[in-house]
Amino acid sequence: MFDWPLMVNNIEREDLDLLIEHLKQDDPKLTNGPKVKEFEEIWSKWLGVKYSVMVNSGASANDLTMQAIFELYGPGEVIVPPLTWVSDIASIIHAKLTPVFIDINFENLSFNFDALANAITNNTRAIFLTHVLGLNAISEELLELCKIKKILLIEDVCESHGASFKSQKVGSIGFASNFSFYYAHHMTTIEGGMISTNDFDFYQTIRMLRAHGMVRESDSENTRQYYKINFPDLNPDFIFAFGSHNMRPTELNGILGISQIKRLDANIIKRTENFRFFLNALDSKKFYTEFQFEGSSSYAFPIILREPSIEKRDAVEISLRDAKIEFRRGLSGGGNQLRQPYIKKLYPLLNATNFPIVDHIHFFSWYVGNFPQLEKSKIVTLCSILNQIV
């Protein structure tokens, strides 16, 4: 047991009471229905976008987004960082697109901009960035690059609900964005995810892809009529525009989302205060602290050794274990995805050491959980332990 776990239970009694109240009905709706739709509309308003589609996980959100890009824009390349969750890269591969890997920077743990700009070709369909651990990854240069090159910007915001760029929430800035409502994130629906966009055609495509690719899942009469007219030999109830899977959420997920989002903004403020306190208490000579704090919405505390040292790395891990503080080495996704078996099998010629910053993160960094209930005294203890590392 840990005295300081990665995350504490984010589901409160009032959330559970709403579920119980729903289940007490004579014939409660349990599959995807009006509560999911209500949460989608509330989420769109909170985020500042026109359309949102709830799915059964953040990984499913990634998969459907990449599949929709392939269906709408055809084959090509998607630029992605090696520091991300496995499903970001896997979703590109699943959609028969080609991942192109670019190293990161220390300030926001996202792309090295110069390397990103140089990697764009005529085959580039999208840039799939990750807002890591609550840090904003958007910049004016990035937005201008996407505009000039006419490239889609896809945002992975699974770890960064409420982060912002110039007062605009990340996830509302790119062409589309993906969120996760897994247990450990800023808010939870137990399992669940969301895809958000301002693009109507993309939205309709996602609605269909979420449920086996069925045309009847579109809420556009024009879309439904198009397929009905062009495929007169098919029953309109069973026209499959795309070959897809079932990634629908349940009404219980929707009910939790409606309840949880009421506390989201207040919880983000507490998380951000904790992050600022952590950075101020950490020894900046030993650990990296110059993160791009403005617009952040902390998911967890990043701990990065300035100098590569196996001895210091081992000392950090022994000290944290002795203090019963749970941690994960390598930050998001465990570090450099290019070292993982699935990548080595598919792309054996890729050399993980050609990405030096993400490789440093892989071996010499950790994250420790941040959550609204975290006491400042524990943060003081954590930083004291770390600062004593020689």
Which of 193, 226, 255 is where one domain is finished? 255
Mean of the pLDDT values across residues 235-257?
Answer: 97
For residue 77, pLDDT beyond 90: yes
What gap in Å lies between CA 257 and CA 263, rounded to an integer? 10
Tell me, yes or no, whether 248 and 293 share the same domain: no
Residue 209 has pLDDT above 90, yes or no: yes
Same domain, 208 and 271: no
Token pair of 54, please?
Answer: 């709830």
- Looking at the 3D structure of the chain, how many domains does it have? 2
Q: What is the pLDDT of residue 109?
A: 98
pLDDT tens-digit series, residues 101-114? 999 999 999 999 99
Is 163 among the domain residues? yes
For the domain that residue 316 is a member of, what is the CATH number? 3.90.1150.10
Whether the per-residue pLDDT at 8 is higher than 80: the answer is: yes
Distance CA(178)–CA(142), nearest Å, equals 18
User: Could you give the CA distance from residue 65 to residue 67 in angstroms, rounded to a whole number?
Assistant: 5
Query: Within a domain: residue 5?
Result: no
Among 196, 229, 255, the domain boundary falls at: 255
pLDDT at 134: 98
Residue type, 134: G
| Alpha-carbon span 385 to 350, nearest angstrom | 38
Indicate whether 201 belongs to any domain: yes
Residues 309 and 362 in one domain: yes
Does 31 reside within a domain?
yes
7 inside domain: no
Write the pLDDT tens digit of every residue in 287-319.
999 999 999 999 999 999 999 999 999 999 999
CA distances from 81 to 194, 326, 332 (A): 21, 26, 11
Distances (CA, A) of 165 to 16, 137, 189, 247, 290: 34, 8, 26, 30, 17
**Domain containing residue 37:** 13-255
Burial of 381 (0-12, 13-18, 19+ CB in 10 A): middle
Three-state DSSP class for residue 15:
helix
Residues 210 and 322 in one domain: no
Q: Is the pLDDT of residue 390 over 80?
A: no
Q: What is the mean pLDDT of residues 353-371?
A: 98
Q: Is residue 4 part of a domain?
A: no
Average pLDDT value over all residues in the chain: 97
Give the residue-averaged pLDDT of 244-250: 97
Query: 85 and 332 in contact (C-beta within 8 Å)?
Result: yes
Kindly write down the DSSP assignment for every residue of 354-373, as one continuous string.
G-HHHHHHHHHEEEEE--TT
Same domain, 226 and 276: no
N residues, the chain: 390
User: From CA 26, how far away is CA 18, in angstroms rounded?
Assistant: 15
Would you place residue 184 in the very low, low, confident or very high pLDDT band (cuts 50, 70, 90)?
confident
Q: Do residue 208 and residue 111 come from a single domain?
A: yes
Residues 65-74 have a mean pLDDT of: 98
> What pLDDT is stored for residue 183 in this prediction?
86
Q: Are 78 and 91 in contact (CB under 8 A)?
A: no
Same domain, 221 and 299: no
Q: Is 260 inside a domain boundary?
A: no
Given the structure tokens 């070709």, which residue do they identify? 121
Q: What is the pLDDT of residues 122-173, one digit of tens each?
A: 999 999 999 999 999 999 999 999 999 999 999 999 999 999 999 999 999 9
Same domain, 119 and 204: yes
Residue 2 lies in a domain: no
Instruction: Check which CATH number belongs to the domain holding 145 and give it.
Output: 3.40.640.10
Report whether pLDDT(334) > 80. yes
Q: Indicate whether 236 and 276 sit together in one domain.
A: no
Q: Where does the pLDDT of residue 228 fall: very low under 50, low under 70, confident under 90, or very high at 90 and above?
A: very high
277 and 230, same domain (yes or no) = no
Per the rule left: phi > 0, alpha: psi between -120 and 50, beta: everything else, 191 is beta
Task: Report how far Cα 299 is from the mean position of its chain's Cα atoms.
Answer: 11
Per-residue pLDDT at 1: 81
Q: Which residue has the tokens 């055809």?
A: 74
With contact defined as beta carbons under 8 Å apart, do 122 and 73 qualify?
no
Same domain, yes or no: 129 and 185: yes
Among 215, 230, 255, identify where a domain stops.
255
The whole-number pLDDT of residue 368 equals 98
Identify whether residues 348 and 247 lie together within a single domain. no
